[in-house]
Amino acid sequence: METNHIHVCCLSETFLKDDIKLPAHPKFITYRLDRPEKRKGGVAIVVRKTIKHRLLPSLGMKYVEQIGIQVYLINSQNISIYSLYVPGTNDIDSVNHFLVKDLRKLSKYQNSFFACGDLNAHHRAWNCVRANRAGTLLYDEMCRGTFFIESPDEPTHYPVDKNKKPSTIDLLLTNKLHQHSELTLSKGLISDHNAVEFTIDTKPEKSNQTSDFFDYKNAEWEKYCAVINQKLSIIANAPTLPQECQQIDESIAMFTNLILEAQDISVPKKRRNSYKLDLPDKLLKAIKIKNTLKRKWQRTRDSQLKSMVNYYERLIKESVNSIKNENWSYKLSQIDPDNVKVWKTAKILKKKNIIPPLKIQEKILLTTHEKAEAIAESFENNHINPLMESDPTFTLSVNNNVRVIITDKCDEDILLTNYDEISLIIRRLKNNKCPGEDKITNRLLKQLPPKGVKFLVKIINNCLISRYFPCKWKCANVVPIAKPGKKKNDPTGYRPISLLSSVSKILERIILSRLETHIDNNNIIPDIQHGFRKNYSTTHQIHRVIKRARDALRRKESTGLIALDIEKAFDRVWIEGLISKMIALNFPTNLVQITHSFLSERTFRVTINGTFSSLKRLEAGLPQGAVLSPTLYNLYTHDIPTNGSHQVAQYADDTLLFKSAPSYFEITQSLKYAASNLIDYLKRWKINVNNNKTNAVYITKRRKLELPSGPINIFGSEIEWTSSIKYLGVELDSGLTYKTHVEKVIAKANTAIKILYPLINRYSKLHVNNKITIYKLAIRPILTYAMPALTEMAPSHIRKIQTIQNKVIKMILNRPWFESTDEIHRVTNLPRIDCFIEKLTKNFHSKLINLT
């Protein structure tokens, strides 16, 4: 396309699937409609970025595969360009029922259109030997005046079987509202179809899309500070204490514009490098020879010529792949062992955030705006709590009590912030975090001059005094990420990554420090909760649960575990219920009020490739990605009922009920009693348990006759005892052998190895030290996750994990399979897995705190 100056390319039969990611090109955009269920098929359009255009919604065709764009023209009606593919089939009924109906949709909106592709329609009107059913229907529809059919003078398809005649099946359908040139053939492709080219007599608008980005490495930070100091010195309405909410919003807008203006002046922009594959003269000559031979073969159908064409096509394909591999190897060889660029390369390989066309019932959503809107509605529904109408008397009482406190004009002094506290928070910000809606990055905040920091201190102190969390900081840009194992064409198969204002997170950290002081002074969060707490980790909670189960086995007792699935735990937190608990826990009124302001009237919009959905509102729940959310969730569930008859383990919303006893009858009765108490608590506080995802396992060494005879009935449902359950990423099986866990860990590690294979394979030019670092930071943590807690693991399981490490090291060093294991560990200075686990366990126990 670059060589032949093609602006728009329509492709038929792409054979692509949703999980295949095409490499991005700096000059072109690719739009795809793949076949998610059946083989082959698929259509795509490749457009030059300089052309102003938009992806068109699906026309709802039942039989014809279709994707289209609208190109904006200067002083003329816009044109629609569609890529079509009509499947070649013997199903005459489908052709009769759907083909004409589908193609009539092209002219439905009376716009100028050009629809082209492989239509598998034969007719003598466009120089085919004989007509088929699709061709006859197409010709009849043309005679009705629905559209014109254009074709080149020569055949477009040359079957490999020389007994089959060449045919013209790659056609152009148009209503001729714009003039175009004659259709000509380009025979340079490695395909049994020739490309059809034509020019539309019009002038498209230029796109304002750019791939420029701010180059912070070459920023003039002294100029940046000078601009901010100069602007602040002439601002007459600098924030004073106190301010009204509207004045705070105005100060924030002033502060934001000030930073962005200074960025434009002092930080240069850089254009992303264009990728160009330079082919040697020898290969270009081979391409010309191949094209000449192909034209001769198409005229003569000589089998000897076809063999020569196939030979040159294989040669060209192998040569191009070889050049690409050489370029890749050179790029890897230039990465220094200490360069962080290797992680950017690894991230690109691991990242597969492709959003294919979405399907809602029978409607296909193609455009990025349609996708963004559908996913935004799904996220919005996640924040609607279906239990809000339950227990109306209690709900009304809580709402009234909260309203009294929130509207109270208290005179309590709040601990204000200062220059030193804000400066420390800014210094700890990570450089490469994405900005929120205000586009202020952490790098810009870190380079603020003292005068800028003092200005920010005044804004935040005004927020604290007014107990007001600014509306501008309560809007999130949400990037959807596909959930593992979920259908990518379903809007509900995505989870949100919220991009919040970096400045808002500074205010959040100020509020969090005040909340934590009260929490720690009053010992509010129980020890059973390990989530998002200092000195606690998932490994600590797993260790606690396994230790209890192991101790029970030594006493010849069994243990029943029930892993609860709290449905949309963070998304559906009852805000008034949380505030009422803060009031009951005697949090200062000013902290309660600003927390309520933080949670109220929050909004978000989904963004996909720069396209935004409409603004959506969060009716309930804690904002994803916010600094305060984890602590607020711990507060909301701090009073989960516990008693001596059973034990509870929590890590954020991952909740486990377990009981150890000599008999299964005592275990099941205790767990039923615990569940009965818990269900009342959950209903009152509008927390819903998903029974379908709640699992139970019975850990024992007893004989089959002494095992539970049936499911356990809790929460109104029968929960089956399974052979293992997953808790905090660890598979806990009925015998605590960890066999299932090790199998899944090895499978997950092998997946990571496959993804990173281009970097760590035997022939990769990446420095060996970089390969070892990738293994240590991206693969070994998968193999050794939570190992200090997995006590008494069989040596055979350790050896299985060691085998994976051996395989990776030998691949990295390009050593044969029979190489000594001791030798490869000596060369790489890597400890064996058992030694590494022993080291992890010693460090873990040396830092182990008292667990309940």
CA distance 719 to 102: 49
Spatial CA neighbour of 100 closest among 82, 80, 86, 79: 86
Same domain, 289 and 177: no
Q: Which residues pair with 149 in a beta bridge?
A: 173
Same domain, 74 and 175: yes
pLDDT computed for residue 238 by the predictor: 62
CA distance 662 to 552: 9
Residue 334 has pLDDT above 70, yes or no: no
Number of domains composing the chain: 5
Same domain, 756 and 835: yes
Q: What is the DSSP letter of 829?
A: T
Work out the mean pLDDT of the chain and round it to a whole number. Answer: 87
Q: Two tokens at 62?
A: 């039942």
pLDDT computed for residue 213 by the predictor: 83
Strands 475-482 and 603-608: parallel
Query: How would you write 120-181 as a 3-class SS string?
Result: CCCCHHHCCCCCCHHHHHHHHHHHCCCCEEECCCCCCECCCCCCCCCECCEEEEECCCCCEC
Positive or negative: CA dihedral 186, 187, 188, 190: positive
Give residue-wise pLDDT tens across range 524-569. 999 898 888 888 889 999 999 999 999 999 999 999 999 988 889 9
Non-local CB neighbours of 1 within 8 Å, separated by 6+ positions = 9, 28, 46, 48
Answer for the pair 631, 530: CB distance below 8 angstroms, yes or no: no
pLDDT computed for residue 680 by the predictor: 86
Please report whether residue 517 resides in a domain: no
Across the range 336-344, mean pLDDT stands at 57
Same domain, 248 and 154: no
- Domain range for 444 is 221-269+415-466
Non-local CB neighbours of 234 within 8 Å, separated by 6+ positions = none
Answer for the pair 157, 167: CB distance below 8 angstroms, yes or no: yes
Q: Specify the 3-state DSSP secondary structure of 605.
A: strand
Please report whether residue 345 resides in a domain: no
b/e burial code for range 696-713 (CB count within 10 A of at least 16 → b) = bbbbbeeeeeeebeeebe
User: 366-371 long-range CB contacts below 8 Å, 24 or more apart?
Assistant: 366/31, 366/33, 366/55, 366/56, 366/57, 366/58, 366/67, 367/54, 367/55, 367/56, 367/57, 367/611, 368/55, 368/608, 368/609, 368/610, 368/611, 369/611, 369/613, 370/57, 371/491, 371/608
CA distance 35 to 43: 9
Q: Two tokens at 408?
A: 């109270």
Give residue-wise pLDDT tens across range 123-146. 999 988 888 888 999 999 899 888
Please report whether residue 215 resides in a domain: no
CA distance 221 to 268: 11
Residue 515 has pLDDT above 90, yes or no: yes
pLDDT computed for residue 350 by the predictor: 59
Same domain, 90 and 131: yes
CA distance 26 to 238: 44
Answer for the pair 68, 80: CB distance below 8 angstroms, yes or no: yes
Q: Which helix (H) or strand (E) holds 699?
A: strand 695-699
b/e burial code for range 615-632 (CB count within 10 A of at least 16 → b) = ebebbbbbbbebbbbbbb
Residue 201 has pLDDT above 70, yes or no: yes
Non-local CB neighbours of 801 within 8 Å, separated by 6+ positions = 742, 745, 746, 783, 784, 833
Residue 851 has pLDDT above 50, yes or no: no
Please report whether residue 341 resides in a domain: no
Same domain, 35 and 161: yes
DSSP notation for 258-276:
HHHHHHHHHS-EEEPPPP-
Same domain, 462 and 482: no
Spatial CA neighbour of 468 closest among 622, 632, 594: 594
Answer for the pair 56, 68: CB distance below 8 angstroms, yes or no: yes
Answer for the pair 623, 632: CB distance below 8 angstroms, yes or no: no
Non-local CB neighbours of 505 within 8 Å, separated by 6+ positions = 626, 627
User: 441-444 long-range CB contacts below 8 Å, 24 or more apart?
Assistant: 441/502, 442/502, 443/216, 444/224, 444/259, 444/262, 444/263
CA distance 447 to 225: 7
Please report whether residue 216 resides in a domain: no
pLDDT computed for residue 454 by the predictor: 93
Give the helix ranges, DSSP H, for 585-623.
589-599
Same domain, 835 and 766: yes
CA distance 78 to 70: 7
- The torsion angles phi and psi of 58, rounded to 5 degrees, stand at -65, 140
Chain position carrying tokens 């602006």 = 7
CA distance 639 to 148: 73
Helix, strand, coil percent content, the chain, rounded in steps of 5: 45, 15, 40
Please report whether residue 25 resides in a domain: yes
- The CATH number assigned to the domain holding 96 equals 3.60.10.10
Same domain, 24 and 155: yes
Answer for the pair 652, 531: CB distance below 8 angstroms, yes or no: yes
Position 383: which residue type? H
Give residue-wise pLDDT tens across range 455-467. 999 999 999 999 9
pLDDT computed for residue 366 by the predictor: 84
Please report whether residue 291 resides in a domain: yes
CA distance 56 to 68: 5
Spatial CA neighbour of 255 closest among 429, 456, 450, 422: 456
Q: Two tokens at 237?
A: 């309405």
Give the helix ranges, DSSP H, for 470-588.
502-522, 538-554, 575-584
Give residue-wise pLDDT tens across range 22-33. 767 778 888 988
Give the helix ranges, DSSP H, for 334-449.
341-350, 368-382, 392-406, 419-427, 442-446
Give residue-wise pLDDT tens across range 237-249. 566 666 788 889 9
pLDDT computed for residue 598 by the predictor: 96
Across the range 82-94, mean pLDDT stands at 83
Q: How many CB atoms lie within 10 A of CB 667?
A: 26
Across the range 204-227, mean pLDDT stands at 84
Give residue-wise pLDDT tens across range 395-440. 999 999 999 999 887 777 788 999 999 999 999 999 888 999 999 9
Same domain, 656 and 690: yes
What percent of the chain stands above pLDDT 90?
47
Q: What is the DSSP letter of 204?
A: B
pLDDT computed for residue 61 by the predictor: 87
**pTM for the whole thing?**
0.83
Helical axes 502-522 vs 589-599, angle rounded to 10°: 140
Please report whether residue 3 resides in a domain: no
**pLDDT higher at 327 or 452:** 452
Same domain, 151 and 14: yes
Answer for the pair 248, 467: CB distance below 8 angstroms, yes or no: no
> Is the peptide bond between 484 and the residue preceding it cis, with omega within 30 degrees of 0?
no
Same domain, 263 and 129: no
CA distance 69 to 63: 19
Q: Which of 682, 702, 727 is the last residue of a domain?
A: 727
Q: Which helix (H) or strand (E) holds 303?
A: helix 303-333
